[in-house]
Amino acid sequence: MRVIFMGTPVFAVPCLKALLKEGVQVAGVVTQPDRPKGRGQKDIPSAVKEEAALNGLDIYQPLNLKDFAFIRLLEKLSPDVIVVVAFGRILPRVILDLPVRGCINVHASLLPQYRGAAPIHRAIMNGENITGITTMLINESLDSGDILLQEALPIHKEDTVGTLHDRLAPLGAKLLVKTLQLMEADGLKPVPQDHSKATYARIISSEDEVLDWNAPAGIIFNHVRGMNPWPGAKTTIDEKILKIWRVEAVDLECSKEVTIPGQVVVSGPDGLVVQANPGLVNVKELQLQGGKRLPAVDFLRGHPVRIGTVLG
């Protein structure tokens, strides 16, 4: 089977590796243009571009997916199928109609739940205990095409976006290979999604990063996990940004008396504990603007925080 692979971030790399390991003919790799990053704003290639280069694959980075020359190039590659994994752009109809067997997407949720750009973040932020991978046929609407295969994966209480990402990515690769094998054998029966059950995982915004100390402790716990390792949950202290990387929600029975949400109620050798509404949040790891990520106890040695200080 002749495949064009479209993907960009680290999440897509295991899928590309799996195709190559299985001997799938990857006719070309399409990825996002190099982007400036870091203090020097040096152009950095995507993770998929780096992997493709290591394997000597032809790489294409179009600025415009509707560009006539790019479309002609894809036509000449004659793909049986186009595989899309976290590519980051919506494919126009002219590309969707190119491959003989259609375009397949690997999506990090159990569709129709969590359609959209940030399914891993949103599932953790919402306190879900299960997610998974869906392979589906792509149409012109967002993540709404017919389902090919699905496999569930539990979300553990201590999972962060990073740890869940690292378990979902290889599962996506496994399910992609299985999908292509069944497709080649004409063993797939696409199932339409129940659109009435659709939920959406909108892209993470700067507003999403900000902790609301007026929320219950359990909500804050999930919020912090859903921002780790990117972009990081944040609050403020003395007009400086304070990123909160890891917390524990304290049993509500221990904290019935609410002071001011965001107020520090414990600070010292026993750690840093902050009032939520209701409940308490035991901050385990944090990072002051311009500083390093540190365990709370180590942070407090160099940056004492007075009891009664209000964060946010």
Structure confidence by residue, pLDDT tens digits, 265-281? 999 998 899 999 999 99
Radius of gyration of the chain from Cα atoms? 23
**CA gap 217, 202 in Å, rounded:** 23
pLDDT at residue 129, as a whole number? 98
Spans of the chain, pLDDT less than 50: none
pTM for the whole structure: 0.95
Q: Which tokens is 65 given?
A: 């997916």
Determine contact, residues 115/179, Cβ cutoff 8 Å. Answer: no
- Identify the CA nearest to 134 among candidates 124, 121, 144: 144
**CA gap 133, 153 in Å, rounded:** 8
Fold (CATH) for 2-197: Rossmann fold (3.40.50)
CATH 3.40.50.170 location in the chain: 2-197
Q: Which tokens is 183 given?
A: 């497709």
Determine contact, residues 162/143, Cβ cutoff 8 Å. Answer: no
CATH 3.10.25.10 location in the chain: 206-302
pLDDT at residue 253, as a whole number? 52
Q: Which tokens is 28 given?
A: 């070309």
Determine contact, residues 274/296, Cβ cutoff 8 Å. Answer: no
Fold (CATH) for 206-302: Methionyl-tRNA Fmet Formyltransferase; Chain A, domain 2 (3.10.25)
Determine contact, residues 246/284, Cβ cutoff 8 Å. Answer: yes
